[in-house]
Chain A
Amino acid sequence: MQIFCTQVASGGRNKFNKYQCVRLACRGHNSQDVRNIRNLLPIVGIFFLYCGMTQIRMTGHASSRAESASVLYCPSLVGLTAVQADLAIVMPRLDHNRKLRETPCQGRWAAILACDPFGSEAALFRDLASLGYTGLANWPSTILLDGETRQAMSTIPATPEHEYAALARAQDAGWDTLAFFRSLDQAREALSAGLRQLVLHPGLLDADSNANSAMITAALNRLCHAVRTEMPGVEIRLFSSDWHDRFVAADDLSVDGIVRLETGL
């Protein structure tokens, strides 16, 4: 534990993210020690806020506690596991944007259903601002749709391009924005819309993805590199969760921060 804290502090000076801190802490220790250290991740998260990296906590649970600046509130996520969170876009279980508007502010960020064909965008922005939000993100998102579903949904229109355009309008109106993306094409769409804070989604992962962890990490790194090459200065955060930690070696990714899903399950 003593070594762990030392390494975390060291990580802070060098602006490592929390996973890199844990990896440093784990060096030279046996697997039981590693498990113990991983169990301390929530504590590390507290340190993490002080070491120059940003972490945004994404949750569907509305809390009556004092709002936290680092929270991204997404009501569609309530009751879903990390895997099911990716399916929220095709689960007609609530009026997402209405729930956002009817719930007290949960933090700085609000996740909006940007492709909702109903309601006035201006009114949504106004209501969320009056609640106290200053940032918007596109979740649930169409970035994960593929095949005929994607083609059909584009007629609503429900597409990443449409979501980015909505975020861009929000940005023009003074909002901070986080744009979720999964591919280089989507990143380009977001960048061309003028968005500069992106959230990399690692894609739909299942149990079989475990065997390809190295490949997934390499591919995501390559994607980050390509985006940064095209738009130097862009901020890229990684969308992650306990579930995603099993597949994506986040400490090896060149990201500026984490959007960490809290499922509460």
Chain B
Amino acid sequence: MNSARTPFLFGAVVGSGLTAKAADSAGANYLLALNAGRFRVQGASSLTSFLPVRPANDWVMEFAERELLGRCTAPIYAGYSVSDPQIDLDDLIEKTVALGFAGICNFPSVSLIDGRLGALMESEGLGFSREVDLAERATAAGLKTFAYVQTNKQARRMVDAGAGAICVNVGFTSGATGVSTHLTLEAAAARIDRVLDGVPSDIDKLCHGGPITSPEDALTVMRMCSVQGLVAGSTLDKIPLENTLSEVTKGFTAIPNLARRSRRDERGNEALIGGSSVMQQIKEELDALAHDDLPILITGETGTGKSLAASRVHAMGPKAHRKSVVVDCPAVTELDGDVYLLGLGAGARAGSASQRGALEQAADSTLILEDVAALSLGHQGKLLKFVDEGLVQRIGEHSTRAISARVVSTAMSEDVLLAENGLFRHDLYYRLSGHVIELPPLRDRIDDIADLISHFGRKLQGGEEPVFTNAALRVLFEHSWPGNLRELRNAVSRAVRISQGKTIGLKEVEFLNRNRKPEEVPAAIVTASQKPGEVQSERDWIASALARNGFRRAQTAQDLGMTTRTLYNKIKRYGLQE
């Protein structure tokens, strides 16, 4: 085969008629019938090719004769192991010719076995020298040789033995096979060049394995070294086949979730979108409470839509004609929080005019206290007076003003407010929690995910609903969503952006799998009490995001879909800055 005629050489390791025909029709230059390929199509690792699990040579001849030979246009090479001292090489060559193979290939090659075992194989005369011997006999019999090598010396010996193609084996294929390699593509290219140094130009030069696991990797390596092509094994069949099977299967298994999808009630606010029974119940509860005057405490993990639920209470109630007042409690600082909450009397501070505080502004409306647990004890005391007696006293004034306002508070959980650490006044808790509604985390209502992503997608695309493959939806269903609706909204936004208007498949939601790698959370901020498999807390979720974003707060806040200030407060609250 001449490289001038063929700018890129492709060798396909085949283990079945199916793979061989597909590779042949796609233009493969070499078809290598290897026991490794056969093992892969049977669901085992190609590394099994070294084990005494099948008689390698007989097996290759058997499946090649039955499924490959005479059925493909590309030359077919038989992969042989000659480590067995009882093999008669001449007999092997004779059978190869008789069956109609174009040539032989030294695989599984002993050169891949390192350490003392490999050295012992060589010293016993069962190593690479015996493979060279096979190549010489093949050449003498008119067969071609496709030679796997690992060193320059091996390459030269195989050229001397008459090999027409030299393939640098860069090691066992890494990536999805589970094998790890220390080689980068650059290092692999450098090694390939060293091995191929001095190999004549009329010999085809290919490479296989190591970190080269995709056509893109092959292109990168080819640009960096003198190799002309690639041999693909697990990257040709196992990995793509497994991915395809996985995608198709997930497409089918997503059907139960999709079948339950409901278009009901999509006009409501997004926190309450979904037809799951738990959300239906909560919606009914909120709507019933909207016309009541009881203080409401809404709890739930971060991103479950507590603020939106609070807004719904206001919007559905009799005071909806007035604007609600929202107090972001983590943002209420010790320094100016009093003025912000209570307001300022005229002349209370040098040259200051009178000013209404947030509590006063909520008169005849609804006061929504977001993340109320973040209020300082001092501010809690002032709020207690307001909630208890409906009185507000501006800073610098001696008189109080009676204010009537509905109070709706939100918090991560009741436990935070009832903790015995003295950070939250229990008397205030009892006044704020006239009725408690707990919003479920998204992972507990996956039936609603399809409706939610449809809603978010339409908002992002001006009313046009993005199309998700079933497999991509399945990934969304399986994700644990520690950031709940906020995380889902960001994920949909990211997937829509990546897809550029096309169908959203597995690739577009792959970042969700990457993000949930536990090792990304630094050990220093993993709590000792966290048990394996335990649902991730907000603290862990934030810690993980910080680590993922190189501890850059602005970037982390953007990633988590919250303001930098909110993130900073949460970092402080959870002690993550230490």
Task: Report which A residues bind B (CB closer than 8 A).
Answer: 76, 79-81, 83-84, 86-97, 113, 115-118, 140, 144-153, 155-156, 158, 204, 206
Task: Contact check, B53 vs A113: say whether CB atoms are below 8 A apart.
Answer: yes
**B126 & A84 in contact (Cβ 8 Å cutoff):** yes
- Are the C-beta atoms of A94 and B52 separated by less than 8 Å? yes
**Chain B: how many interface residues by the 8 Å CB criterion?**
40
The 10 closest A-B pairs by CB, nearest first: A147-B115, A155-B178, A146-B115, A92-B56, A93-B84, A147-B114, A152-B172, A96-B52, A117-B44, A79-B86
Chain B residues near A93 (CB-CB < 8 A): 52, 55-56, 81, 83-84, 86-87
Contacts of B55 in A (CB 8 A): 92-95
B154 at the interface (CB under 8 A from A): no
Flag whether B49 is at the interface (Cβ < 8 A). Answer: yes
Contacts of B178 in A (CB 8 A): 155
Kindly report which residue of chain B lies nearest to residue A145, judged by CB atoms: B117
Answer whether residue B498 sits at the interface, using C-beta atoms and an 8 A cutoff: no
Residue ID in chain B nearest A79 by CB atoms: B86
**Complex interface: chain A residues within 8 A of B115 (CB):** 145-150
B440 within 8 A of A: no
B244 at the interface (CB under 8 A from A): no
Interface residues in B30-87 by Cβ distance below 8 A to A read 35, 42, 44-45, 47-56, 81, 83-87
Interface positions of B from 383 to 421, Cβ below 8 Å from A: none
Q: B216 interface residue, CB < 8 Å from A?
A: no
A92 touches B179 (CB 8 A): no
Q: Is the interface of B mostly helix, strand, loop or mixed?
A: loop
Q: Which of A118, A145, A149, A155 contacts B53 (CB 8 A)?
A: A118
Say whether B120 contacts A113, CB under 8 Å. no
Q: State the CA gap A151–B121 with chains docked (Å).
A: 19
Contact B85 A90 (CB under 8 A): no
- Whether A87 contacts B117 by the Cβ 8 Å rule is yes
How many Å lie between the Cα of A81 and that of B126 in the bound state? 12
Query: What is the bound-complex CA distance between A76 and B53, given in angstroms?
Result: 10
**Docked pose: A145 CA to B180 CA in angstroms:** 16
Could you list some 18 contacts between A and B, CB below 8 A? Answer: A81-B124, A83-B124, A84-B85, A87-B83, A88-B52, A90-B51, A90-B83, A90-B110, A91-B52, A91-B83, A93-B83, A93-B87, A149-B117, A151-B180, A152-B47, A153-B47, A155-B47, A206-B120
Minimal beta-carbon separation of B568 from chain A (angstroms) = 44
Q: Choose among A84, A92, A145, A153 the residue that contacts B52 (Cβ–Cβ < 8 A).
A: A92
A80 to B388 CA separation, bound complex (whole angstroms)? 92
Cα–Cα, bound, A39→B12 (Å): 56
Contacting residues, chain B, for A147 (C-beta < 8 A): 114-115, 118
Q: Is B529 an interface residue (CB 8 A)?
A: no
B179 A151 Cβ-Cβ under 8 A:
yes
Within the assembled complex, what's the spacing in Å between the Cα atoms of A88 and B85?
Answer: 11
User: Chain B's nearest CB lies how many Å from the CB of A102?
Assistant: 13
Nearest CB on B from A100, distance (A): 11
Cβ of B267 within 8 Å of any chain A Cβ, yes or no, is no
In the bound complex, do residue B177 and residue A90 qualify as a contact, i.e. CB atoms below 8 Å apart?
no
Question: A116 and B117: CB pair below 8 A?
Answer: no
Q: Which residues of B contact A94 (CB under 8 A)?
A: 52, 54-55
Instruction: Return chain A residues, CB-CB under 8 Å to B44.
Output: 117-118, 156
What is the chain A residue whose CB lies nearest that of B43?
A117
Known contacts A90-B117, A146-B117; decide if A156 and B52 are in contact (CB<8 Å): no
Contact A86 B53 (CB under 8 A): no
Cα-based distance from A149 to B110 in the complex (angstroms)? 11
User: Are A92 and B47 interface neighbours, CB within 8 A?
Assistant: no
Min Cβ gap B256→A in Å is 32
Q: Is the pair B117, A113 in contact by a Cβ cutoff of 8 Å?
A: no
- Whether B117 and A155, one on each chain, are in contact in the complex, defined by CB atoms closer than 8 angstroms, is no
Is there contact, CB below 8 Å, between A95 and B52? yes
Among B49, B51, B83, B117, residue most surrounded by chain A Cβ atoms (within 10 Å): B51
A-facing mask of B114-147, CB < 8 A → 1, else 0?
1111101101101000000000000000000000
List of B residues within 8 angstroms of A86 by Cβ = 117, 120
> Smallest distance from the beta carbon of B156 to chain A beta carbons, Å?
23
Tell me which residues across on chain B come within 8 A of A90, comparing CB atoms: 50-51, 83, 110, 113, 117, 121
Give the distance to chain B from A216, nearest Cβ to Cβ, in Å: 14
- Nearest-neighbour CB distance to chain A for B3, whole angstroms, equals 30
A112 to B48, CA, bound (A): 16
Contacts of B51 in A (CB 8 A): 89-90, 92, 113, 115-116, 140, 156, 158
Q: Indicate with 1 or 0, residue by residue over B222-241, a CB within 8 angstroms of chain A CB atoms.
A: 00000000000000000000
Q: Does B112 reach chain A (CB closer than 8 Å)?
A: yes
The residues in B between 168 and 188 inclusive whose CB is less than 8 angstroms from any CB of A are 171-172, 177-180
Q: How far is the CA of A18 from the CA of B560 in the complex (A)?
A: 74
List chain A residues, Cβ under 8 A from B45. 117, 155-156
Residue B357, interface by CB 8 Å: no
- Whose C-beta in chain A lies nearest to the C-beta of B52? A96
Return the chain B residue nearest A146 by Cβ.
B115
Instruction: Flag if B85 contacts A80 (CB, 8 Å).
Output: yes
Residue B108 at the chain A interface, CB threshold 8 Å = yes
Nearest-CB residue, chain B, relative to A80 = B85
Please report the C-alpha to C-alpha distance between residue A127 and residue B96 in the assembled complex, in whole angstroms. Answer: 36
Report the Cα distance A86→B116, complex, angstroms.
11
**Among candidates A140, A150, A153, A204, residue contacting B120 with C-beta atoms closer than 8 Å:** A204
Which residue of chain A has its CB nearest to the CB of B45?
Answer: A156
Q: B49: which A residues are within 8 A, CB to CB? A: 92
**Contact yes or no, A149 B83, CB < 8 A:** no
Query: How far is A158 from B180 in the complex, measured between Cα atoms in Å?
Result: 15
Residues of A within 8 A of B52 (CB): 76, 88-89, 91-96, 113, 140
- The reply to whether A148 and B172 form a contact with Cβ atoms under 8 Å apart is yes
From residue B336, how far is it (CB to closest CB) to chain A in Å? 60
Interface residues of B in 159-216 (CB under 8 A from A): 171-172, 177-180
Other A-B pairs, 5, CB within 8 Å; known A147-B115, A152-B172: A87-B117, A113-B53, A146-B117, A155-B178, A204-B120
Cβ contacts under 8 Å, B56 to chain A: 92-93
Question: How distant is A237 from chain B, measured CB to nearest CB, in Å?
Answer: 23
Bound CA–CA A95/B51 (angstroms): 9
CA distance A158 to B86 in the complex (A): 25
Q: Which of A76, A80, A152, A206 contacts B179 (CB 8 A)?
A: A152
Closest B residue to A207 by CB, please name it: B123
**What CA separation (Å) do A81 and B84 show in the bound complex?**
11
- Shortest C-beta distance, A207 to chain B (Å), equals 8
Within 8 A of A (CB), among B517-549: none
Q: What is the CA–CA distance of A148 and B115 in the complex, to the nearest angstrom?
A: 8
Chain A proximity of B114: nearest CB distance (Å):
4
Determine if B116 and A117 form an interchain contact, defined as CB atoms under 8 angstroms apart.
no
A90 nearest CB across to chain B (Å): 5
Instruction: Output the least CB separation between B125 and chain A (Å).
Output: 10
Minimum distance in angstroms from A84 CB to a CB of chain B: 6
CB atoms of A149 and B123 under 8 A apart: no
Complex-state Cα separation, A96 to B84, whole angstroms:
14
Say yes or no: B116 contacts A204, CB within 8 Å: yes
CA distance A156 to B178 in the complex (A): 9
CB-based contact A144/B108 at 8 Å: no
What's the Cα separation between A81 and B125 when bound, in Å?
Answer: 12
A162, chain B: closest CB distance, angstroms: 12
Q: Which residue of B lies closest to A153 (CB)?
A: B47
CA distance A65 to B87 in the complex (A): 28
A95 x B53 contact (CB < 8 A): yes
- Are B124 and A84 neighbours in the complex by a CB distance under 8 Å? yes
Nearest chain A CB to B95 CB, angstrom units: 16
- A182–B571 Cα distance when bound, in Å, is 51
Give Cα distance in the complex from A83 to B116, angstroms: 12
- Contact residues in B for A204 (Cβ distance below 8 Å): 116-117, 120
